[in-house]
Amino acid sequence: MRDRAATRALVLGLLALPFGILAPIAIWTGASSLRRIRSSNRELTGKASATVGLVAGVAAAAFFFAGAAYWWLAS
Amino acid sequence: MTVPRLAAVLLILLFGVCTYPGADLVSLAVRLTPPPAVASGAPSGSLPWLHVAHPEGGPPYIADHQGRLVLLHGAIPGGLIDYWSGTDPSRTNPPPFFPIDPAAYNGRCPNNYAVIGVPPLCQEDLAQMAALGFNSMRLPLSWSLLEPERGRFSQTYVDRVGQVVDWARALGIYVIIDMHQNAYSRYVGRAVPPPLPNGDVAQLGYNTGAPAWATLTDGLPSEVFMGQREVNPAVLEANSNFWYDRSGIQDEYIASLAFLAKRFRDDSAVAGYSINNEPWPGWNLPPGFEDLLLFPFYRRVIDALTGVRDGLPCPTHIYMPAVCGYPDLDVHDLRHLIFLDTGLLREVTDFPTHLGLPVSSYPNLVLALHAYTHVFTLDHLLHQQPEKANYPWGGFDQSYALAEREAKALNAALFVAEFGGPSSTDSLVLTNQLLEQERHRVGFAFWIWKENCGGWAMHDGVSCTPGDISPQPSSGCLRAGRERLLARVYPRESADARLSYHYDAGTGAFSLQVHGRAGDPPTVVFIPREVTGEVNASGAVDQLVTTNPDGSRLVTDSPTGGAFSITVTPAPLDVIPCV
């Protein structure tokens, strides 16, 4: 059975790339989905989607907050 | 890795390149790119070239050929805007109302009529502006008149702009050419009755901008919500299509700007170009709208006009992601200022709605602030009275202090490209806006010089009886309250970019504190005819006061080394009587 949060993490992670504000939710959703999948003894699937969502969320957060940090430092 | 997985990974990487990761990396590259060699050369004609100075550690500022801080004061006439006109609201696409041919304005002025929002712009208007001490003018144009048919640019309209620039040059007035738009276009249509619930019939009187062929509404109804002309499905859709370069309309816009810029490439009376007035995000949201669509669009225009190559080469006439630059359109204009309007939503928040990522290595950039505290800000939308409003939390200074930081992050100077409001709020709104402009040492363009039936202009309107189609004067009297506030004593040029000054419009008193080194170019202070107090100088300065034929005075202070100050004593103001 597929963990529904894995798909949610993927969508949120991709949306976080243009809308950085969603990045923390993507990271949280992706991480908790991966945790559930790992502890389910292969009953739950969706590891790839959850991982991509998590990675995209981390990347979105990093680049968005790097941009915000630039604003604070350069202004 | 399987093929579908590889394709998915590549797709995600591509998505990353098109969004913040790509935008950040290109901005970083822009920040590290040395600016192109910008040679202003010797002053040509009566007005020296302006540029943006970038002092070590300090905020960039607009400067003249001697490196002096230049403060631009001016107003915004609407006579070249393609506004809707008429007495029958169901007629949605009337032809342009005032003549476009410059011959119609040679030594005369076409009749004004109350069936359009603003009067025609004539030579007398510029003389009136100069008499108030304005040394600049923001001149709004309409894309619909510049490129009425796709690919056909109007030489007549550009000649008309050139005529106004000629008038301005003769009076020592700089012109900021503004590609104006409000609610995208007057061709968005008007659905009667409004098909969507809770919508109102669109009033097109103040919609302007894109030509009909570039107004792609995809059949969405044109009706307004919350009483805001921009909150209109047709306007939202048309804007979105522009930002996503549907059918190459953004490319056409850039081409029309290039056509315009070629004409004025060697004209120093044109201070620069305002690329897009009050950009509206359409269906997009901040900060992605500004960081991923608007400012990258600005970069592409700058690339096209100047020939600098920031951003990556990308195919054109199709959606161009934030990383894209733009081909050189063979204008090679490296001397004009480029004014970058913040997104329209910033006017509502008085707060940055984007990250302020560096947009271009071109050094002559100016962040164009539209300062409408208590006029368009959240408190106004919530129907709070300006005197009792509990937003913005930082008062009038919030917008300015943050804009100063935004400009610095963009490596741009700051200019108030628009401010104004109903004349009934002048004692609070205008007075405080002008105080902030002094505090932050920024110039202004006041919206609006004249209008026929509204309460926002510097002048009274004309008779606006519904259905009246008789000829009218170009305006009523100059509003005394606005003359008092806007015909100001101010330093026009100074070698000290950190000077401080204050003019009290209530008493006519003025004070200026400057630091100067011997041999620095002089600080020049303008005193309008209305101000009658005595001029005094103290400290390390040689002062020369000249009186102009109209009664205004020009104070030229050459520093001899050290601090000096200039004051004008309080005295009754001599405002123009209304007859």
B326 CB-near residues (< 8 Å, 6+ apart): B254, B299, B300, B301, B303, B304, B311, B316, B320
**Cβ proximity of B257 and B326 under 8 Å:** no
What's the half-sphere exposure (Cβ side, CA atoms, 13 Å) at B280? 26
The structure tokens 């359009």 sit at B116
Three-class secondary structure of residue A69 per DSSP: helix
Note whether A75 contacts B: Cβ–Cβ < 8 A.
Answer: yes
Structure tokens at B352: 């940055």
Asked whether the predicted pLDDT for residue B42 surpasses 60, the reply is: no
Tokens 């401080």 belong to B500
Residue B20 to residue A48, Cβ atoms within 8 A: no
pLDDT in tens, A29-71: 999 999 999 999 889 999 999 999 999 999 999 998 888 888 8
> Given pLDDT bands bounded at 50, 70 and 90, which one contains residue A19?
confident
pTM above 0.90, yes or no: yes
* pLDDT tens digits, B286-344: 999 999 999 999 999 999 999 999 999 999 999 999 999 999 999 999 999 999 999 99
Contacts of B12 in chain A (CB under 8 A): 14, 52, 56
Q: Do A67 and B23 touch (CB under 8 A)?
A: yes
Q: pLDDT tens, B343-389?
A: 999 999 999 999 889 999 999 999 999 999 999 999 999 999 999 99
CB-nearest partner of B16 from A59, A66, A70 = A59
The closest alpha carbon to B525, from B496, B495, B494, B547, belongs to: B494
- What mean pLDDT value characterizes chain B? 95
pLDDT at B45 (0 to 100): 63
Phi, psi of B517 (to 5 degrees): -100, 150
Q: Please, are residues A26 and A60 in contact by the beta-carbon 8 Å criterion?
A: yes
Q: pLDDT tens, B137-194?
A: 999 999 999 999 999 999 999 999 999 999 999 999 999 999 999 999 999 999 999 9
CA–CA separation, B571 and B552 (whole Å): 15
Mean pLDDT on B191-218 = 96
User: Burial, A21: exposed, middle or buried (Cβ in 10 Å; 0-12, 13-18, 19+)?
Assistant: middle
Of A20, A67, A75, the CB nearest to B408: A75
User: Going by DSSP bridges, is the β-strand pair B136-142/B73-76 parallel, antiparallel, or unpaired?
Assistant: parallel
- Mean predicted confidence (pLDDT) in A3-31: 93
The 3-state DSSP class for residue B367 equals strand
The whole-number pLDDT of residue B211 equals 98
Mutate to test the interface with A, among B355, B357, B365 (most CBs of A within 10 A): B355
Contact B8 A52 (CB under 8 A): yes
Question: What is the sign of the dihedral through the CA atoms of B357, B137, B228 and B97?
Answer: negative
For residue B470, count other CB atoms closer than 10 A to its CB: 9
Residue the block writes with tokens 């003025």: B510
Find the range with the poorest average confidence among B1-5, B489-493, B503-507, B567-571.
B1-5
Write the single-letter amino acid at B317: H
The ipTM, to two decimals, is 0.84
Of B427, B425, B407, give the one whose Cα is nearest residue B416.
B407
Taking 70 as the threshold, does the pLDDT of residue A25 lie above it? yes
How sure is the predictor about A73, in pLDDT bands with cuts at 50, 70 and 90? confident
Which residue reads 């059975």 in tokens?
A1
The whole-number average pLDDT for the span B9-17 is 87
The answer to whether residues B495 and B68 touch, using CB atoms and an 8 Å cutoff, is yes
Terminal alpha carbon distance of chain B: 84
Q: Which residue(s) pair with B157 in the sheet? A: none
pLDDT of residue A75: 80
Percent of chain B with pLDDT over 90: 91
- Using pLDDT thresholds of 50, 70 and 90, give the confidence band for residue B2: confident
Q: What is the pLDDT of residue B223?
A: 97
pLDDT digits (tens, 9 = 90+) for B236-254: 999 999 999 999 999 999 9
Cβ-based contacts under 8 A for chains A and B? 62
**Mean pLDDT along residues B510-525:** 97
Give helix B233-243 / helix B249-263 axis angle, nearest 10°: 70
The answer to whether the CB of B26 falls within 8 A of the CB of B311 is: yes
Among chain A residues, CA nearest to B59: A75
H/E/C letters for each residue in B142-177? EHHHHCCECCECCHHHHHHHHHHHHHHHHCCCEEEE
Residues 28-57 of A with CB under 8 A from B: 48, 52, 56
A71, two tokens:
């604003």
φ, ψ for residue B290, nearest 5 deg: -70, -50
**Confidence at residue B467, expressed as pLDDT on a 0 to 100 scale:** 81
Instruction: Tell me what the mean pLDDT of segment B456-472 comes to.
Output: 91
Q: What is the pLDDT of residue A49?
A: 93
Task: Identify residue B75 by its one-letter amino acid code.
Answer: A
DSSP strands (E only) in B57-216 = 61-63, 69-70, 73-76, 136-142, 174-180, 200-201
- Indicate the range of A22-31, B42-51, B65-74, B533-542 predicted with least confidence: B42-51
What digits encode the pLDDT tens for the residues B525-565?
999 999 999 999 999 999 999 999 999 999 999 999 999 99
| Among B3, B6, B38, B58, residue whose Cα is nearest residue B497 | B58
Q: What is the pLDDT of residue B390?
A: 92
**Closest listed residue to residue B537, CA positions, set B567, B500, B573:** B567
Give the pLDDT score at B43. 58
A21 pLDDT band (50/70/90 cuts)?
Answer: confident
pLDDT beyond 90 at B110: yes
DSSP structural state of residue B289: I
pLDDT of B429 reads 97
For B196, residues 6+ apart whose C-beta sits below 8 A from its C-beta are: B221, B223, B233
pLDDT at B41 over 80: no
A3-7, B39-43, B402-406, B454-458: least confident range: B39-43
**SS (HEC) of B371-426:** ECCCCCCHHHHCCCCHHHCCCCCCHHHHHHHHHHHHHHHHCCEEEEEEEECCHHHC
Supply the pLDDT for residue B369: 98
Packed helices A23-38 and A47-74: angle between N→C axes, nearest 10 degrees = 150
Quote the minimal CA–CA distance from A36 to chain B in Å: 23
What pLDDT, on a 0 to 100 scale, did the predictor assign at position B62? Answer: 98
Confidence of residue B40 (pLDDT cuts 50, 70, 90): low
Residue B44 has pLDDT above 80, yes or no: no
pLDDT of residue B209: 98
Say if residue B579's pLDDT is above 90: no
Across B470-494, average pLDDT: 96
- For residue A54, the distance in angstroms to the closest alpha carbon of chain B comes to 13
Tokens of B394: 């930082």
How far apart (Å, rounded) are the C-alpha atoms in residues B412 and B405? 10
The pLDDT of residue B38 is 77
